[in-house]
Structure 1
Amino acid sequence: MKRIHVGTSAPKYQSGKWTWEEKTQSLRFQPYSDLEDANERFIDTNGFKFLRTINQEEELIFRQVFARPITSYDGDTVVLNDVRDLVLFMMPHEFLSTMFVEFMHRPAVHRLLHALIIYFEHFLRMVEFLLIRRDELAGNMAQVQSEQTNELKRIFSCNLSHFRMLVARNYSLIVMGESDMQKFYHTKPVVNISSTIKDRGFHEHFLAVATQIIWITMHRRAYFIIEMEMNRLFRSEHFLMNRTQYPNFSTVERSLLYGRNSKIFNCRVQNSPMIQELQHVADEDMPILWIGERRYRGNDQRIASVEMEYLIPEAQLHLVDISHGILGHPKNLYNTILSLDWPSVRFANYSEQHDPFNLLRQPSIKLPNINELQMRKMAKQYDQFYKVFRIYETFSHQTLSNWKNRDNIINYYCSGGILKNIYVRCEEQLTTVEERPDVAKIVTNYFDVIFRLRKKKESNMTFAGYKKKGTDYFFN
């Protein structure tokens, strides 16, 4: 029988239904114990069934075994690793392999997912803008478009292509097997033969997981638009599924969303839209390819804003009033499956004047200067000799082992295993005699952890550190 203490182990996400009891004349909440037949149990992504919700037993197992510990850096804030761990817990069994789990924990994959989140944040805003403009231009009270409106649309399209270039840059490094991604390269090192079937399955799994990560990060909205655009980016339009839920865009709307570099050729010679962005890069956009690698030095305000949005850590986005979905929000405002808990938001007393996390305000598109494209062509560029370096929390072998044996761990605890939280461990230590470290050792270990976290925090005071000719510079 499970020993689960009501306290820190109490479920945050209540999955069930309310029923009326005639005897007590009151409502009673019945939690789901088995969701196999429930309609809300699964969601289909590219032909794979991901869990849409979890029951209370699975929630307790996830929080105590698989979730990111509170002792990690920014443990009280929702970051990309939290969303990744949740999706890994909800993904199908056939995804569980040592190679794939290790791939999802690599820094290069983290940078790709981070760039995808930024891109879809702006892409969904552009889709909403197009749908509003479609309604304004239709009907008897249709508005007349001016040349300035068309010029603003061209600027919006160019700005969206900048984030698409960041995604393409990070994805190309993975495809080419640069640095630590050589292990996941699709060809064998000696015979130089591609593992086509294995690589295709690996790519399908990553694409499905990335779609789920983006969807959860974007507050679980616009799922079919995210799925359609994700498949278009990585596959091209020849391989899009014909689903009635996908929106239909006109030729003008497609040119605005997909950019001027998007071309459709025969399927045998077609490149993905990301590769097309890298094949035709304007001279004034070349510094974008170095964002995250070298510090930009110039007076182009557009590149400086893209660099700031890309380099700022998730936990510090609210300091510059930038929204990337749920990233950077306090974790106490969300339940275990990272759905917003509106009662917690109401108790936080946010308002239109005090809304640092964009929970009440609607994220919108800022109107640029009408002559922004001409000004960017006249911008000056200087020599770049500051190298940006990033800090990542390393993963342990125990973490990979837990994810690989995820189903076995869940079955063990669901069949009678004991979830030992802090209360159960304290009870066992009081009743049993075991060798314990002395107080001085405990205090030393505590200060080691605090020093490690403070050191990371100091090195991330702004958004990055810069390295010049072997000397480290920290801008605090």
Structure 2
Amino acid sequence: MGHDDDDDEESFGGLYEDGHWVWDDSVGALIFVSDRPAIVTDAIPLPIKAPTGTIEFRDDIDLIEQLRFRKRYMRKLKPGEPDVITVQDVKDLAIYTAPLTLMSPMLIDMLHLSTTERFIRALIFYCQYYLQTTDIMGFRMLELETKVRTPQSEEVERVFRENLSDLRTLVAKEYCTMIIGGADTKKFHHMGAQKKRKSLSDKDARLFETLLRMCIQIVWLALGRRSFNQLELEVNRLFKSDIFNSVEHMKPSNSKMTKEERDVLLGCCLRHDQKLNTRSPLMNEVFCARPIDYRMMGLGVIKYEMLHRRLLYMWLAIAGPEEELVKIGVPCGILGYPRPYFDTMLCVLPTVASDKSKSKAGGSKQSVQSDKSRSRSSSGSQTAPPQSSLAFGKSRLSTSEGSGGNRYLYTDIVLPEVETLSQQIPTSFPDEPEVERRCSEKQRRQWQNRLQRLINPSAIRHNK
């Protein structure tokens, strides 16, 4: 990336304002010196408060900015690399459209860690299943007006509740690694990598508040810009107790749920302790008394010789090759779909949407009957969750719009059934690590350089 590209970047942003040009002998070029007050960044260890209020991302950038993004910041393919949507692509768009007040060098570094990437994929996976289950439970509550609950209804809802708890555990295990400074997150711990210095609690609060807001935006983009308010409420509910959840105070939603919906969507691991002992709902999932397969805590980190189909499904979603997700039928939002299906802003192209509509109109009778059978109660019970033979069949465009269906490019999640846990304690636990899927160092450097130019236009631009 040369000086011409840097000048091109700044000319679009109108950064040559309120300043003057001077000749710099050290670089042998003219540099722009801003007359505005200096901006304090997170590189200086000052007690900066966490962001509050509404944080707006730019989602209406014009064509010129989109061209600039494609030219300079969109991930370039390596020879032989499949052209599919990855977490990096979604992160790139979220960073590009984020307000400057949200960004910091530390946040960019943290977004480009293997642990954070697994955390983001697990959060996308959970949120997709949460929205899917919310739609199904809403349909089931409508059925209560004309149908009677049966013991089978309780069993159906128990399956949904257990599935959501397991997926929350996948998110919680990565979050625990991040907050204790484990693995590749050591240098981000509030007491330093060796945990010996004084706690920088204010800086830590800012980092995780901005990370949480960034992750909400990434999940929203990865799920096809679906149900932002609902996603924001659920993610904040997970990571914050009721006392500290400002989003829930502004947009109360749980009070509108029926008892059955609360039991399924919120789970059975909720605890109401005194203020000082309160844990977030996400942490309560880790310390819950329900049976949890210990191997879930190591998915994507520890290499296991044999995984049953449910755990394999989860591993593929949070740590498997993104280019294989669509082929093997493991949906995780738009991850794994061809990039040519989408425009620069990761919106589905009209041609792809029209092809989907045609496939829906000309779908087979078997598919229609399958959708109808899912919305029909058997023996007076309500809609049961679809089961999967889980040969990880090839994915298709989703055409169902009834109970549990969606109108988006990606398909519904169909988790395999829970297998009976062995009561025998293994003689030894595996300790061989998984092969680490590293984030793009090139993209990380690009975003750091861009942030530095935006914050300090007089910085040396050729330091790549």
Normalised to the residue count of structure 2, the TM-score between the two structures is 0.70
Cα shift at 1:271: 0.2
Residues 169 and 232 from structure 1, CA distance in 2 versus in 1: closer, same or farther, beyond 3 angstroms?
same
Q: Could you tell me which residue of structure 2 aligns to residue 395 of structure 1? A: 441
Cα shift at 1:202: 1.5
CA–CA separation in structure 2 for the residues paired with 1:410 and 1:250: 54
Q: Equivalences for 1:101-250 in 2 at 5 Å?
A: 101-138=108-145, 142-188=146-192, 192-240=197-245, 241=247, 242-244=249-251, 246=253, 248-250=256-258
Q: Residue 268 in 1 paired to residue 276 in 2?
A: yes
Cα shift at 1:59: 0.8
C-alpha offsets along residues 401-456 of structure 1, whole Å, 9 cap, x if unaligned?
33324647999xxxxxxxxxxxxxxxxxxxxxxxxxxxxxxxxxxxxxxxxxxxxx
CA–CA separation in structure 1 for the residues paired with 2:251 and 2:55: 18
Q: Could you tell me which residue of structure 1 aligns to residue 93 of structure 2? A: 86
Residues 408 and 333 from structure 1, CA distance in 2 versus in 1: closer, same or farther, beyond 3 angstroms?
farther
Q: Equivalences for 1:218-367 in 2 at 5 Å?
A: 218-240=223-245, 241=247, 242-244=249-251, 246=253, 248-280=256-288, 282-296=290-304, 300-346=308-354, 352=363, 356-361=395-400, 362=405, 363-364=411-412, 366=414
Residues 119 and 58 from structure 1, CA distance in 2 versus in 1: closer, same or farther, beyond 3 angstroms?
same
CA–CA separation in structure 1 for the residues paired with 2:327 and 2:208: 36
Residues 104 and 393 from structure 1, CA distance in 2 versus in 1: closer, same or farther, beyond 3 angstroms?
closer
2:420 to 354, 369, 376: 376
Cα shift at 1:63: 0.9
Residue pair 1:58, 1:410 contacting (<8 A) in 2 also: no
The AA in structure 2 aligned to 1:389 is V
Cα shift at 1:283: 4.6
Residues 197 and 244 from structure 1, CA distance in 2 versus in 1: closer, same or farther, beyond 3 angstroms?
closer
Residue pair 2:122, 2:170 contacting (<8 A) in 1 also: yes
Cα shift at 1:75: 5.5
The AA in structure 2 aligned to 1:263 is R
Cα shift at 1:244: 4.5
Q: Could you tell me which residue of structure 1 aligns to residue 68 of structure 2? A: 61
Cα shift at 1:334: 0.7
CA–CA separation in structure 1 for the residues paired with 2:158 and 2:433: 32
Residue pair 2:121, 2:332 contacting (<8 A) in 1 also: no
Unaligned runs of 5+ in 2: 6-50, 368-393, 406-410, 459-464
Residue pair 1:211, 1:230 contacting (<8 A) in 2 also: yes
CA–CA separation in structure 1 for the residues paired with 2:311 and 2:429: 14
Secondary structure of 2:323 counterpart: helix
The AA in structure 1 aligned to 2:267 is G
My pick for the range that moved more, 294-303 or 100-109, is 294-303
Residue pair 2:128, 2:333 contacting (<8 A) in 1 also: yes
Residue pair 1:101, 1:403 contacting (<8 A) in 2 also: no
My pick for the range that moved more, 145-154 or 275-284, is 275-284
CA–CA separation in structure 1 for the residues paired with 2:57 and 2:200: 26
Residues 73 and 165 from structure 1, CA distance in 2 versus in 1: closer, same or farther, beyond 3 angstroms?
farther
Residue pair 2:322, 2:335 contacting (<8 A) in 1 also: yes
Normalised to the residue count of structure 1, the TM-score between the two structures is 0.68
Residues 180 and 356 from structure 1, CA distance in 2 versus in 1: closer, same or farther, beyond 3 angstroms?
closer
My pick for the range that moved more, 336-345 or 191-200, is 191-200
Residue pair 1:334, 1:340 contacting (<8 A) in 2 also: yes
Residues 403 and 108 from structure 1, CA distance in 2 versus in 1: closer, same or farther, beyond 3 angstroms?
farther
Q: Could you tell me which residue of structure 1 aligns to residue 23 of structure 2? A: none
Secondary structure of 1:99 counterpart: helix
Residue pair 2:301, 2:433 contacting (<8 A) in 1 also: yes
The AA in structure 2 aligned to 1:121 is Q
The AA in structure 2 aligned to 1:183 is K
C-alpha offsets along residues 352-396 of structure 1, whole Å, 9 cap, x if unaligned?
479835354544465976xx5xx5245777665464213324414
- What is the Cα-based RMSD across aligned positions, in Å? 3.3
Secondary structure of 1:326 counterpart: coil
Cα shift at 1:187: 1.9
Residue pair 1:45, 1:208 contacting (<8 A) in 2 also: no
Q: Could you tell me which residue of structure 1 aligns to residue 12 of structure 2? A: none
The AA in structure 1 aligned to 2:395 is P
Residue pair 1:152, 1:368 contacting (<8 A) in 2 also: no
CA–CA separation in structure 2 for the residues paired with 1:58 and 1:173: 37
Residue pair 1:299, 1:381 contacting (<8 A) in 2 also: no
CA–CA separation in structure 1 for the residues paired with 2:252 and 2:81: 38
Secondary structure of 1:51 counterpart: coil
Residue pair 2:310, 2:415 contacting (<8 A) in 1 also: no
Residues 394 and 230 from structure 1, CA distance in 2 versus in 1: closer, same or farther, beyond 3 angstroms?
same
My pick for the range that moved more, 304-313 or 334-343, is 304-313
* Number of positions where the alignment pairs a residue of Structure 1 with one of Structure 2: 363
CA–CA separation in structure 2 for the residues paired with 1:125 and 1:190: 41
Residues 185 and 244 from structure 1, CA distance in 2 versus in 1: closer, same or farther, beyond 3 angstroms?
closer
CA–CA separation in structure 2 for the residues paired with 1:131 and 1:165: 24
The AA in structure 1 aligned to 2:340 is N
CA–CA separation in structure 1 for the residues paired with 2:79 and 2:454: 25
Residue pair 1:87, 1:209 contacting (<8 A) in 2 also: yes
C-alpha offsets along residues 54-82 of structure 1, whole Å, 9 cap, x if unaligned?
01121111111111113377452111100
CA–CA separation in structure 2 for the residues paired with 1:78 and 1:117: 14
The AA in structure 1 aligned to 2:446 is T
Residues 318 and 230 from structure 1, CA distance in 2 versus in 1: closer, same or farther, beyond 3 angstroms?
same
